[in-house]
Amino acid sequence: MLDDVRKAAAALEMAGVTLEARPRRTALGLIARLRDPEGNPVELYQP
């Protein structure tokens, strides 16, 4: 869980990480998705 998903996603993109899904609002909160180096899905979550 993060305080600012948009800021975290922007920092990751600046570091060369490709997001699968940019931050978007859902019923659960703000969520962004990427994959770790081994290909596992990772979701960044902000309530």
| Better pLDDT: 7 or 1 | 7
Question: Could you report the per-residue pLDDT of 7-46, keeping only the tens digit for each?
Answer: 999 999 999 999 999 999 999 999 999 999 999 999 999 9
This prediction's pTM: 0.84
- Planar angle of CA 44, 4, 12, nearest 5 degrees: 60
Residue 38's pLDDT is: 94
Rg over alpha carbons for the chain, rounded to the nearest Å, is 10
Which token pair is 23? 């931050």
Pull the structure tokens for residue 11: 């920092």
Looking at residue 26, what is its pLDDT?
Answer: 95
**Domain spans of the chain?**
5-46
pLDDT of the residue at 1: 82
pLDDT at res. 14? 96
